[in-house]
Structure 1
Amino acid sequence: MKTPMRLALLSALFFTTLAQAAEPVLIDVHRDANCGCCKKWISHLESNGFKVNDHVEADMSGVKKRLGVAPRLGSCHTAVIDGKFVEGHVPAEQVLALRKRNDLLGIAAPGMPLGSPGMEVEGRGEAYQVIGLTREGKDVVVADYPAR
Structure 2
Amino acid sequence: MHPTLRIATLATLLLGGAAQAAETLAIDVHRDANCGCCKDWIAYLKDNGFAVRDHVERDMGAVKQALGVQPRLGSCHTGVIDGQFVEGHVPVAQILELRKRPDLLGIAVPGMPAGSPGMDYGQARQAYQVIGLTRSGQDEVLANYPADKAPRR
Q: Same fold (TM over 0.5)?
A: yes
AA paired with 1:20? A
- Is the 2:27–2:53 contact (alpha carbons within 8 Å) kept by the matching residues of 1? yes
Give % identity: 65
> Which residue in the other structure is 2:59 paired with?
59
Partner SS, residue 80 of structure 2: strand
- Is the 2:114–2:123 contact (alpha carbons within 8 Å) kept by the matching residues of 1? no
> Which residue in the other structure is 2:76 paired with?
76
Q: CA deviation at 1:146?
A: 1.1
Q: Does 1:137 align with 2:137?
A: yes
- CA deviation profile, 1:37-93 (whole Å, cap 9, x unmatched): 000000000000000000000000000001000000000000100000000000111
Structure 2 Cα separation of the partners of residues 123 and 87 of structure 1:
22
TM-score (norm 1): 0.87
- Is the 2:27–2:81 contact (alpha carbons within 8 Å) kept by the matching residues of 1? yes
> Which residue in the other structure is 2:121 paired with?
121
> Which residue in the other structure is 1:88 paired with?
88
Structure 1 Cα separation of the partners of residues 133 and 36 of structure 2:
27
Measured on the aligned residues, the alpha-carbon RMSD in Å equals 1.8
Q: Does 1:20 align with 2:22?
A: no
Q: CA deviation at 1:22?
A: 4.4
Structure 2 Cα separation of the partners of residues 145 and 34 of structure 1:
28
> Which residue in the other structure is 2:35 paired with?
35
AA paired with 1:29? V
> Which residue in the other structure is 1:4 paired with?
none
Partner SS, residue 34 of structure 1: coil
> Which residue in the other structure is 2:146 paired with?
146
Residue correspondences, number: 138
Q: CA deviation at 1:124?
A: 1.3
Q: CA deviation at 1:21?
A: 3.8
- Is the 2:104–2:132 contact (alpha carbons within 8 Å) kept by the matching residues of 1? yes
Q: CA deviation at 1:102?
A: 1.1
> Which residue in the other structure is 1:111 paired with?
111
TM-score (norm 2): 0.84
Structure 2 Cα separation of the partners of residues 128 and 42 of structure 1:
19
